[in-house]
Chain A
């Protein structure tokens, strides 16, 4: 227990990293396949016919059936899924059912309306909105990390003290704030009453801040609790006591050693929190009308845009898999005692 496990001498061989990456990517591919299968099946099992929405409410039943058959929506689900995955493997996520490529309105009186433009590619729609969501998520993560590190480390250094109690109550209240309500209240206060920040739509980076604050409040409680208990645990380790004997100052011990070790549980939590961050993004983008992936998701669901929903599910689960691989790689480079 003498040497602080600081990992600088614990570099793994490239072969090791490679085999780890291959194994994890293969597992990830299986997970993505399962997710697509699940979403694909669910969308087709639950009631609600997308063709009815596409063709308009006045379209005769025969036309609906004709279009559906032409689009292959009446084939067995297994056949449809096979055809779909065959294209996905080639990087083709299909076309949206309802969205036009050029931004014109959809849903005319009849399906073969000449004014209907080309339908938009799912991949294009996702790639257009993904950077916006990443910008929002990164801003939220930055705010949450700064806030929770300050509070969590201060609480962990003095367990049972007043900061620890404060951190406990703050995280209990933050976790109890429904994000949609907080969004509305903050928009009312900061945007309407005080006029500090713009809220609705997007026309520049300042529009990201308010949604990001809402997301950060949602993310913080888990981060604060993880950090404060991890820091408290690390400060009880013998290397910290020895650090004092070695004549290191407290800030140096905390910043260079304890925080480094405490960041491993934090990283793991961040990887797992991704799916809850995604849930938050959907709601927050919907409230603030922020043109990102979340708003796209909600609209896709409400319009029963099957290809778009499937595409989003595949892309998000792929991101989830990648983030968790990165988290594990980062964790092992921080603490080489961890097994891949």
Chain B
């Protein structure tokens, strides 16, 4: 699932170094003006708010069984629906809305954490490769090439299937799957920056290489990359729910999108909502994130395109 966005890898070098800091702000400003971004942000804010407060506010335990209220359909469907369970209940009477919302929490946190791992590895490795060049660069790029040609899904399934899938293990596996993209972008922008006067000045005045990379280059060049990495949060959330579906994600009784849907699949014919409703929820979340990310991406392409 490591799709490479063509526009991303073909990222042109930002022109004047002085205005680079404002590029992130310009992308932000430009994206904020588009309708897609506003729709995405509004949807995302509602969903995030629901995920943050609904389970505590409603006081419903996502793992509490209630046999009398089992297999209730969602609102306005069939004749047994109730306001207490807007998305219905599953085969042992657990509330689907609370379960979906708790699933969203795990999915989002795992998504953000794994993108953070990806960014950390990718940016640092790319910056080091681009800054030092030569043999370090060659080695880093060969590792990157090899990584890109391994079908990551096989690796992820193999590792998580054979060992026990814990949350840190899942985050690590997801985070390790997509860093080469960032390493390449970071390397190309750092290569363009390393010969500039301010970098030379820092070198002459005795700053260590680590200091230059960490305090000058990464803070300057990372923000535009950070904005478009939002798209990867959505990608990682899909990956996480896929693993959950295969039984290789966060384990039950903790509800996640993947294990709820896998569970609901067994009751598909007499209770279609168990498998479909969490999916609708997940899909809405991902769409909102993708709209925001795509708006950033568009804005970045226009700004780098010099329009």
Query: Do these two chains really belong together in a complex?
Result: yes
Q: Are the C-beta atoms of A286 and B287 separated by less than 8 Å?
A: no
* A301 CB to nearest B CB, Å: 4
Q: Are the C-beta atoms of A178 and B283 separated by less than 8 Å?
A: yes
Q: Are the C-beta atoms of A176 and B3 separated by less than 8 Å?
A: no
Q: Does A309 contact B (CB under 8 A)?
A: yes
Q: Are the C-beta atoms of B157 and A282 separated by less than 8 Å?
A: yes
* B55 CB to nearest A CB, Å: 22
Question: Quick one: CB contact mask for B137-157 with A, threshold 8 Å, 1 for yes?
Answer: 000000001101111111101
Q: Considering the complex, give the chain B residue whose CB is closest to the CB of A230.
A: B6
Residues of B within 8 A of A184 (CB): 261, 265, 268, 275-276, 279
Interface-located stretch among B11-19, B64-72, B117-125, B239-247: B239-247
Residues of B132-186 whose CB lies within 8 A of A: 145-146, 148-155, 157-159, 161-164
Residues of A211-233 whose CB lies within 8 A of B: 222, 226, 229
Question: Quick one: CB contact mask for B248-292 with A, threshold 8 Å, 1 for yes?
Answer: 000000000110010001001100100110010011001101110
CA distance A70 to B3 in the complex (A): 43
* A219 CB to nearest B CB, Å: 9
| Most chain A CB within a 10 A radius of its CB, from B151, B159, B164 | B151
Q: Are the C-beta atoms of B162 and A47 separated by less than 8 Å?
A: yes
* B1 CB to nearest A CB, Å: 5
Given contacts A175-B290, A297-B154, A301-B162, contact A317 B246 (CB under 8 A): no
Q: Are the C-beta atoms of B242 and A180 separated by less than 8 Å?
A: yes
Q: Does A206 contact B (CB under 8 A)?
A: no
Residues of B within 8 A of A278 (CB): 151, 153-154
Q: Does B2 contact A (CB under 8 A)?
A: yes
* A32 CB to nearest B CB, Å: 8
Residues of A within 8 A of B152 (CB): 275, 279
Q: Are the C-beta atoms of B242 and A283 separated by less than 8 Å?
A: yes
Given contacts A168-B36, A181-B279, contact A309 B149 (CB under 8 A): no
Q: Does B4 contact A (CB under 8 A)?
A: yes
Q: Does B238 contact A (CB under 8 A)?
A: yes
Residues of A226-263 whose CB lies within 8 A of B: 226, 229
* B293 CB to nearest A CB, Å: 9
Q: Which of A178, A302, A309 contacts B241 (CB 8 A)?
A: A178
Given contacts A176-B287, A179-B242, A184-B276, contact A316 B154 (CB under 8 A): yes
Residues of A within 8 A of B56 (CB): none
Q: Are the C-beta atoms of B261 and A175 separated by less than 8 Å?
A: no
* A168 CB to nearest B CB, Å: 7
Q: Does B79 contact A (CB under 8 A)?
A: no
Given contacts A178-B279, A178-B282, contact A226 B6 (CB under 8 A): yes
Q: Does B294 contact A (CB under 8 A)?
A: yes
CA distance A181 to B287 in the complex (A): 15
Residues of B within 8 A of A26 (CB): none
Q: Considering the complex, give the chain A residue whose CB is closest to the CB of B157.
A: A301
Residues of B within 8 A of A185 (CB): 275-276, 279
Q: Does A304 contact B (CB under 8 A)?
A: yes
Residues of A within 8 A of B110 (CB): none
Q: Does B234 contact A (CB under 8 A)?
A: yes
Q: Does B197 contact A (CB under 8 A)?
A: no
CA distance A324 to B6 in the complex (A): 15
Residues of A within 8 A of B146 (CB): 30-31, 34-35, 38
CA distance A279 to B3 in the complex (A): 11
Interface positions of B (Cβ within 8 A of A): 1-7, 36, 145-146, 148-155, 157-159, 161-164, 234, 238, 241-242, 245-246, 257-258, 261, 265, 268-269, 272, 275-276, 279, 282-283, 286-287, 289-291, 294, 301
Since A181-B279, A229-B7 are in contact, a sample of 17 more A-B pairs with Cβ atoms closer than 8 Å, ordered by chain A residue number, is A42-B158, A46-B159, A48-B163, A168-B294, A169-B36, A172-B294, A176-B234, A178-B245, A180-B241, A185-B276, A188-B272, A222-B3, A269-B4, A276-B3, A283-B242, A301-B157, A317-B151
